[in-house]
Amino acid sequence: MGSSVSSGSTLPPQWAGRSFGKRSQPISGQSTGRVWGVERWLVRRLLSVIGNPPIALVLWDGEAIGHAAPKARVKIRDRRTFWQLLSNVYLHFGDAFSDGRIEVEGDLLEFLEIIYGAEDAQPRNRLAAALADWRSKPRANTLGGSRSHIYHHYDIGDDFYRLWLDREMVYTCAFFPSPAVSLEEAQAAKLELVCRKLWLKPGETVVEAGCGWGALALYMARHYGVTVKAYNVSHEQIRTARQRAKAEGLEARVEFIEDDYRAIRGRFDVFASVGMLEHVGADHYRQLGEVIHGCLRPGGRGILHTIGRDYPGCLNAWIERRIFPGAYAPSLREIMQVLEPRSFSVLDVENLRLHYALTLQHWHERFEAVAPRVEAMFDAAFVRAWRLYLVGSLAAFRTGSLQLFQVLFARHGCNEIPWTRQRLLAE
Amino acid sequence: MGSSVSSGSTLPPQWAGRSFGKRSQPISGQSTGRVWGVERWLVRRLLSVIGNPPIALVLWDGEAIGHAAPKARVKIRDRRTFWQLLSNVYLHFGDAFSDGRIEVEGDLLEFLEIIYGAEDAQPRNRLAAALADWRSKPRANTLGGSRSHIYHHYDIGDDFYRLWLDREMVYTCAFFPSPAVSLEEAQAAKLELVCRKLWLKPGETVVEAGCGWGALALYMARHYGVTVKAYNVSHEQIRTARQRAKAEGLEARVEFIEDDYRAIRGRFDVFASVGMLEHVGADHYRQLGEVIHGCLRPGGRGILHTIGRDYPGCLNAWIERRIFPGAYAPSLREIMQVLEPRSFSVLDVENLRLHYALTLQHWHERFEAVAPRVEAMFDAAFVRAWRLYLVGSLAAFRTGSLQLFQVLFARHGCNEIPWTRQRLLAE
């Protein structure tokens, strides 16, 4: 299968211009004179604010400030980077890490867990939180905006994702019946779990909003005898999904449509959305609820599988800016803004947070194993950015900064629902 | 075991004065002259507004208005009742039904399901909904208010509840592994389900907010080797619960405390509340969250088991006024107002709506079997009021007007949680 991406030259504009040009190689020894007293004071103050965790900062003159026996040493190469960090720590940390202007000596995961943990342990300052949220407010997901945001992440090339995702190319949280099972098995188990929760019956119709490379839609048709219409705005993903349907002889039962969830037409027994709500944006939850209301038959049911949070707040600014533009991880209360206005009845919510941590651990290991090939495809900065994104997400799920909710719902008052979850999940 | 209630003379003041005095016997044939044209027009209009369901209204002159082949005929005995219904249909329907000024011929359950169904099918008029909610706004649950509200319902006599509840006297939704199991088994299965969801370990400490007659606290101590502090403001229930603990030799491990949830002191591994949130009132959710935050150890977890709704709205006005003063059934979004401010992490939500319908079906059957004894204890109006409450609640759960949520949560970032629910629920 072809891919439009074979070198760094086809990076999306937000990346190519900012952090991944050939100019952004690690800058070795590029110090900018003596470190001022006020800079040392600011580092100490910053470390104190986040509770003096076991880390040290090494400034461009080589002096280490912070914990005496640090678990990680963060090297900041120049004055400009230092002052950028003070202006917007999350955004500039990510950019400087990708550029090589910041290096982390020690275990990157442990370092990021310390940071997430320290952040969570702080009493929440409402003003500071509001300011931080305003700065990292996700971009609007208008129809045009959503398309460009999705191109940004998902159209950088199937070949890249194929290097380190599982065989079925499922780019959402897996479900590990036991922590020891392989990623391949865990992704298959997740597809099966979603189908069981939805108690699919042969001949039923399903609409999927945000179908990735089509793994769930194909699984449903293959194993449950349903007909699926699957939507996605990513051109590359839809093309691959269609090829897969054809190769399996499932084109008659799985239709892949290159369009936005707001373009869904028709009436279906089941609505499924796995890993799309993150891209919808909180301003559009009510609209999504209307889409579901409009396309679900009486007696219909659905599932929303999404990254979430224990309390409302924006994603890390760097992730939102460089990795997932327009993305937002909702709290459970916010998710209800999709379902409550049309009185959908929540039947079941499951939090698979630790399963996403384990999924990311697998992805990161597989990514590191192919890092030289990724660097050849793009450049070293791209590899560092993806390393930070994967390890940072792993840290976020391990510390509880992010959650993973599967929310099963049905039409209000529908009594044709499984009697118990025990029956639903039994072999 | 003693009871302070042996006759109708000890009814709580809200009831004794209003609907259950000896004067409120069915008023037979007390018509109030000819039915006016405007009254007939209003009946037709009312039936039209709720979608002309298959029911008929019979006014005091004997004329039936409405469906030609009605599934239920509602007889209104006098003009005063008719005009009261127009002013606040839910409140006055309940009062007049209890008094005998309204009778329902046909299947009461089917009639109430038709009414709930018709109501749900209406497009929601925001102004009308706001007005209805304002009229039936629950009374404030201040410390004093909560006490009097709880006395109202739970202190009318253990002897009464003992007549028709299960052996363990569990007055909350049961869990039926299969619809065919008995109420006794289903209540035991519910206690077991709650304990499993909380993955109780021997030696742990539990605080229970709103413990009824102590069934869950005693079950936890008996089967899971934990120590429980259980709170309840109902004097009668606490007295019975203490007697049960003593009879079982569990006094050292289960302490029953006659006090409000806001008086909880100490630190515990587990917080449990089954069927209390309905009495807390939406204004106090944040306060309840603070109580949980204050009493839960790091790594602690908890469960909120509560009647709820698919969208926010007040309880039926009559239920709130005569049966459960101060009660409110929250939507899932509203429940999150308890948990989000302190970043509790929701692990699992299960909706047991149809299990509550079946529980109420059992309760109603058992209640009817002892109705003559209940009438001898109180009076006929009390029996009719409880019949309406039980059958009305059954209709509300069957139609989806009410839901039953079990919300399992843990401290933010706690990783000592069960890996899968499959493991948790396995034998």
Sign of CA dihedral A332, A338, A341, A346: negative
Half-sphere exposure of A74 (CA within 13 A, CB side): 26
Enumerate the residues of chain B whose CB falls inside 8 A of the CB of residue A177.
420, 422
Residues of A in contact with B177 (CB under 8 A): 420, 422
* Residue B30 confidence (pLDDT): 53
Asked if the C-beta of A417 comes within 8 angstroms of chain B's C-beta atoms, the answer is: yes
CA distance A220 to B380: 57
Q: Taking a C-beta distance cutoff of 8 angstroms, is the pair A105, A72 a contact?
A: yes
**Helix axis angle, A79-87 to A37-49, nearest 10°:** 40
Cβ–Cβ gap A400/B413 under 8 Å: yes
The pLDDT value given to residue B125: 58
- CA-CA distance, B375 to B235, in Å (whole number)? 24
Distance CA A38, CA A36 (A): 5
What pLDDT score does A16 carry?
40
Closest of A302, A229, A219 to residue A259, by C-alpha: A229
Q: Please tell me the distance in Å from A418's CA to the nearest CA on chain B.
A: 10
Whole-angstrom Cα distance, residue B255 to residue B204? Answer: 14
Q: Which residues of A touch B332 (CB under 8 A)?
A: 332, 336, 340, 346
Integer Cα distance of B109 and B71 in angstroms: 11
Q: What is the mean pLDDT of residues A249-272?
A: 97
Select the residue from B119, B286, B333 to test the A interface by mutation, using most A Cβ atoms within 10 A. Answer: B333
Residue pLDDT, tens place only, A10-36? 444 444 434 333 334 444 445 568 899
Per-residue model confidence as pLDDT tens for chain B (427 residues): 333 323 333 444 444 434 333 334 444 445 568 899 999 999 999 888 888 899 999 999 999 999 999 999 999 999 999 999 988 888 899 999 999 999 999 999 999 999 888 877 666 656 556 655 555 566 677 777 666 665 566 667 889 999 999 999 999 999 999 999 999 999 999 999 999 999 999 999 999 999 999 999 999 999 999 999 999 999 999 999 999 999 999 999 999 999 999 999 999 999 999 999 999 999 999 999 999 999 999 999 999 999 999 999 888 888 888 888 889 999 999 999 999 999 999 999 999 999 999 999 999 999 999 999 999 999 999 999 999 999 999 999 999 999 999 999 999 999 999 999 987 777 6
Contacts of B141 (CB under 8 A, 6+ apart): B149, B279, B280, B281, B283, B284, B326
The residues pairing with B205 across neighbouring beta strands, listed in sequence order, are B227
Under CATH, what is the fold of the domain B8-135? Nonspecific Lipid-transfer Protein; Chain A (3.30.1050)
Q: Is the pLDDT of residue A152 over 60?
A: yes
For residues A163 and B129, the model is more confident at: A163
Interchain CB distance below 8 Å, B351 and A345: yes
Does residue B421 belong to the interface with chain A, where contact is any CB pair within 8 Å? yes
Supply the pLDDT for residue B6. Answer: 30
B333, B343, B412: residue with CB nearest A336: B333
Q: How close B28 comes to chain A (CA, Å)?
A: 38
Predicted local confidence at residue A128, as pLDDT: 58
Q: Check CB contact under 8 Å for B333 and A333.
A: yes
CA neighbor of B158 nearest in space, from B78, B88, B239: B239
How far apart are alpha carbons A278 and A22 in whole angstroms?
A: 31
What's the gap in Å between the CA of A142 and the closest CA on chain B?
26
Find where tokens 């208008």 sit: A142
CB contact under 8 A, A398 and B414: no
pLDDT tens figures, A341-361? 999 999 999 999 999 999 999
Q: What percent of chain A has pLDDT over 90?
A: 73
- Enclosing H/E stretch for A243: helix A235-248
**Exposure b/e, A286-317, CB count within 10 A at least 16 = b:** eebbebbbebbeeebbbbbbbbbbbbbbbbbb
Chain B interface includes A242 (CB < 8 A) = no
Q: What is the pLDDT of residues B236-246, one digit of tens each?
A: 999 999 999 99
A412 touches chain B (CB under 8 A): yes
Distance between alpha carbon A409 and the CA centroid of its chain, in Å?
A: 23
Q: Give the range with max mean pLDDT: A53-57, A81-85, B190-194.
A: B190-194
Give residue A148's pLDDT band: very low, low, confident or very high (50, 70, 90).
low
CA distances from A138 to A134, A328, B335 (A): 9, 7, 27
Flag whether the ipTM exceeds 0.85: yes
Number of A/B CB contacts below 8 angstroms equals 113
Chain A residues with CB-CB distance to B415 below 8 A: 354, 398, 400
- The radius of gyration of chain A from alpha carbons, rounded to an integer in Å, stands at 22
Span B345-387, pLDDT tens digits: 999 999 999 999 999 999 999 999 999 999 999 999 999 999 9
What mean pLDDT, rounded, does chain A reach? Answer: 88
Looking at the complex, does the CB of residue B192 fall below 8 Å from at least one CB of chain A?
no
Domain boundaries, chain A: 8-135, 143-425
Cα angle B413, A88, A152; round to 5: 80
Residue B126: per-residue pLDDT: 60
Find all residues with CB under 8 Å of B249, minimum gap 6, and list them. Answer: none
Closest CA to B161 of B210, B208, B212, B211: B212
Structure confidence at residue A386 as a pLDDT band (50, 70, 90): very high
Q: What is the pLDDT, as a whole number, of residue B25?
A: 45
Q: What is the pLDDT of residues A105-142, one digit of tens each?
A: 999 999 999 988 887 766 665 655 665 555 556 667 77
Q: B177 — contact with chain A (CB < 8 Å)?
A: yes
- Say yes or no for a CB contact (<8 Å) between B415 and A422: no
Does an H or E element contain A349, and which?
Answer: strand A345-351
Letter string b/e over residues B290-308, b meaning 16 or more CB atoms within 10 A of that residue's CB: ebbbebbeeebbbbbbbbb
Q: Maximum CA pair distance of chain B?
A: 73
Q: Which of B116, B185, B196, B346 to substitute to test the interface with A, most A CBs within 10 Å?
A: B346
Residues of chain B in contact with residue A347, where contact means CB-CB under 8 angstroms, are 350-351
- By the CB < 8 Å criterion, does B189 face chain A? no
Q: Cα dist. B407→A347, A414, B393, B417 in Å?
A: 11, 21, 21, 15
Mutate to test the interface with B, among A420, A421, A424, A425 (most CBs of B within 10 A): A420
In chain A, residues with a C-beta closer than 8 Å to the C-beta of B333 are 333, 336-337, 340
* The CATH number fitting domain A143-425, selected from 3.30.465.10, 3.30.2010.10, 3.40.50.300, 3.40.50.150: 3.40.50.150
